[in-house]
Amino acid sequence: MREIWPGDSYPLGATYDGAGTNFALFSEVAERVELCLFDDEGNEERVSLAEVDGFVWHCYLPGVGPGQRYGYRVHGPYSPAEGLRCNPNKLLIDPYAKAVEGSVNWDQAVYGYRFGEPDSRDDSDSAAYVPRSVVVNPFFGWGHDRPPATPYHDTVLYEAHVRGLTITHPKIPDRIRGTYAALGHPEIIDHLTALGVTAIELMPVHQFVTDHMLEKRGLANYWGYNTIGFFAPHNAYSSSGQRGGQVLEFKAMVKALHEAGIEVILDVVYNHTAEGNHLGPTLSMRGIDNANYYRLVEDDRRYYMDTTGTGNSLLMRSPHALQLIMDSLRYWVRDMHVDGFRFDLAASLARELHEVDRLSAFFDLVQQDPVLSQVKLIAEPWDVGPGGYQVGNFPARWTEWNGRYRDTIRDLWRGEPAALPEFASRLTGSSDLYQDDSRRPAASINFVTCHDGFPLQDLVSYNGKHNEANGEDNRDGADDNRSWNCGVEGPATGPVAQLRERQKRNFLATLFLSQGVPMLSHGDEIGRTQQGNNNAYCQDNEISWVDWGAVLEAGATAEEDAGTVERRQLLEFTRRLARLRRDHPVFRRRRFFYGRPVRGSHDELSDIAWLTPSGTEMTDADWTNGYAKALAVFLNGDAITEPDSRGRRIADDSFLLLFNAHHEMLKFTVPKNYGELWCTELDTAMPGQSESRMCRAGEAVPVTGRSVRVLRRVRHTSS
């Protein structure tokens, strides 16, 4: 006879204390709750939870410890029209499970209704077809681990997929490729540090589900934006054969990255779950307390409000849904030691009713939370609901993926007219979006590419999407890519290939020279391609994976193809850009430019100046010239008067950035009064340049068509 103690109503979930485990589950609508324990043979033992405090059902089981598999059965009303969907025949995942074993086997039994009869009730038992929650050991030897706490203005983000980044890496042992262990391997860490990366932003690692329709097409939910466990690291990314081993492996990965000074940011999906709309499966919260977790249509509660495009949205007015999210966030910071979060479709989190409210309860809770207010908070500032595009409207401590930066930089380099005024704003940190509410340039997460859309290679190789492999007749994915194939659709050689390489360098140079926080998409530094697929969410294969090939081998050989040589050159060029940004604070200012001389600076020059190719200051007529595609930018290193993160006031070198998005070579006159002698620091037309070319004030400097040239002012030295 099993010994059952009353236990506690908090914390929710399964909590092991070294002697036994406390189980606690919230459900306001439940009439009875059964905790289901499974042994190694799959036999089920049911424990009825007799204790209820504040709608939390709980018990403590002595002797139950890490590795124990469990689930819940919730007895209660089933009336879809009233938003009630309890069904004890459906085994449910604990919303607070710290680990999950197995995956969904798409049988009729995992649905709460009979196919073709959405208002019916299906009473077949789902236990054989759904994952198990797992009790985990919370103890881990963190040692002296501490967060790197890199200031935002010094941050370089690297968006990556755990599996896609590591699955083909030739220097990582086969048995751990595609896992958390691979991400913490020295080969990956060395690659990141050489790129100047200070924070890796991981695509979803919360336990997620591949939906039924994708499996029927032989595809997978590769990206992972289909969460079913907000506390559990995704089990398929673990190399451990131990039950719950994904938790220890994830922690070891974080510890290794921290030792290298790299923060770990999680891309989190708190706006919806894998249970989908009214025709979706019953896997967890739907069967526990549907109306307390999900937004339902007021006049017909069988249906779900959907501002995410995925079938459902969490109910941000519910204190229980908010508690779930806040408890999850704190768990990942306190127990898993992550350093921040990027919130998928963050505008959905601000929807308490219909409007996007920047002062919604969720943001208020985060603002006052002593743990979460201290980590990096990044918003994807849009969703698919009305008024969902909210770039620039998030609270003061938040940063944002700046989609307007992406669009503007793409427009400039593909030759769109009238791009210069907005380009100037994006280059200097988007003060038009962030300055009015006291935010700084670091509020702008700048990116040219990300997981969603073309990678950099495809941005310069395809005018249109080629998503046939997704099985939707190329109807999925965005049509507005703002891409340019440089004259030939798809793979090319000769002059077209050479132009594409220069265009990639132009995009990367612009990204690293812009004020704000640069974000690099994994593999862009070595020319990753998706073969024209701009919506590779379902492609867990070579279409999405980073192809390391021979790019990591030292030195080129005569037998190597041009593509491998170009990929190596691009990698080295990206590393040079990262070093340039790291070494010069003028490219990562803490405050916006003033556009005038700064008190306390070392000269009387403005901190920034905008110049025409002829070397004169830009006039209103120059800015409104719709066909102008070139300008020079003077960045005054002597005008950096704000202290750095250590309180030091250190003047920097001054730079001239020469941007020529015109298709022909232009001569830029080095302006007088800004410095006498200049040297070329970087030239996207000559990626392998090793020696600096000198030029003087008044001299005409040729800048190749569609290229960037960076000049550094030479300081006078006394003999």
Q: Which two tokens stand for residue 185?
A: 């391997």
Question: Per-residue confidence at 387, pLDDT binned at 50, 70, 90?
Answer: low
What are the backbone angles phi and psi of residue 577, rounded to the nearest 5°?
A: -60, -45
How many CA atoms within 13 Å lie on the side-chain side of 552? 15
Q: Are 398 and 362 in contact (CB under 8 A)?
A: no
What are the backbone angles phi and psi of residue 473, rounded to the nearest 5°?
A: 55, 35
pLDDT in tens, 322-373: 999 999 999 999 999 999 999 998 877 776 655 656 557 888 899 999 999 9
Tell me the DSSP string of 438-506. T--GGGEEE-S--SSS--HHHHTT-SS---GGGTSTT-SS-S------TTSSS---HHHHHHHHHHHHH
pLDDT in tens, 495-524: 999 999 999 999 999 999 999 999 999 999
Mean pLDDT on 648-657: 86
Average of per-residue pLDDT values in the chain = 93
Say if residue 709's pLDDT is above 80: yes
pLDDT value of residue 556: 46
Report helix, strand and coil shares of the chain as percent, to nearest 5: 25, 20, 55
Give the three-class secondary structure for 340.
strand
Among 19-33, 65-79, 676-690, the least confident range: 676-690
Mean pLDDT on 377-395: 75
Ramachandran sector of residue 503 (left: φ over 0; alpha: ψ -120 to 50; beta: rest)? alpha
Give the three-class secondary structure for 190.
helix
Give me the percent of the chain exceeding a pLDDT of 90: 84
Tell me the DSSP string of 492-542. --HHHHHHHHHHHHHHHHHHHHSSSEEEEETTGGGT---TT-S-GGG--ST
Mean pLDDT on 520-531: 98
pLDDT value of residue 596: 80
Say if residue 442's pLDDT is above 60: yes
CA distance 478 to 506: 23
Q: Are 589 and 655 in contact (CB under 8 A)?
A: no
pLDDT value of residue 646: 67
601 vs 482, higher pLDDT: 482
pLDDT in tens, 118-170: 999 999 999 999 999 999 999 999 999 999 999 999 999 999 999 999 999 99
Neighbours of 561 (CB within 10 A): 10
Q: Which two tokens stand for residue 590?
A: 């803490």
CA distance 704 to 193: 31
DSSP label at 371? T
Q: At what angle do helices 403-413 and 494-513 cross, to 10 degrees?
A: 140
Active site residues: 344, 380
pLDDT value of residue 600: 55
Q: Are 673 and 633 in contact (CB under 8 A)?
A: no
CA distance 634 to 618: 12
CA distance 672 to 547: 47
pLDDT in tens, 18-53: 999 999 999 999 999 999 999 999 999 999 999 999
Q: Are 262 and 273 in contact (CB under 8 A)?
A: no
pLDDT value of residue 597: 77
Q: Which two tokens stand for residue 17?
A: 């204390």
Give the three-class secondary structure for 29.
coil
CA distance 373 to 469: 42
HEC string of 276-334? CCCCCCCCCHHHHHHHHHECECCCCCCCECCCCCCCCCECCCCHHHHHHHHHHHHHHHH
pLDDT value of residue 602: 57
Neighbours of 256 (CB within 10 A): 19
Beta bridge partners of 158: 200, 520
pLDDT value of residue 246: 98
Give me the percent of the chain exceeding a pLDDT of 70: 93
Q: Are 427 and 516 in contact (CB under 8 A)?
A: no
Q: Are 95 and 48 in contact (CB under 8 A)?
A: no
Q: Are 634 and 628 in contact (CB under 8 A)?
A: no
Residue that has been written with the tokens 């015109």 in this structure: 662
Mean pLDDT on 269-276: 96
Q: Domains along the chain?
A: 13-135 (2.60.40.10), 585-713 (2.60.40.1180)
Question: Per-residue confidence at 718, pLDDT binned at 50, 70, 90?
Answer: very low
Counting beta carbons within 10 angstroms of the beta carbon of residue 712, is it exposed (0 to 12), middle (13 to 18) or buried (19 or more)?
A: buried
Neighbours of 130 (CB within 10 A): 25
pLDDT value of residue 1: 81
Q: Which two tokens stand for residue 565?
A: 């040589």
Mean pLDDT on 194-223: 97
Say if residue 549's pLDDT is above 50: yes
CA distance 176 to 174: 6
75 vs 624, higher pLDDT: 75
- Pick the closest to residue 326 from 373, 282, 281 (CA basis): 373
Mean pLDDT on 216-226: 97
What are the backbone angles phi and psi of residue 224, rounded to the nearest 5°?
A: 95, 15
Q: Which two tokens stand for residue 104?
A: 């969904």
CA distance 614 to 618: 10
- Pick the closest to residue 426 from 531, 334, 510 (CA basis): 510
pLDDT value of residue 639: 85
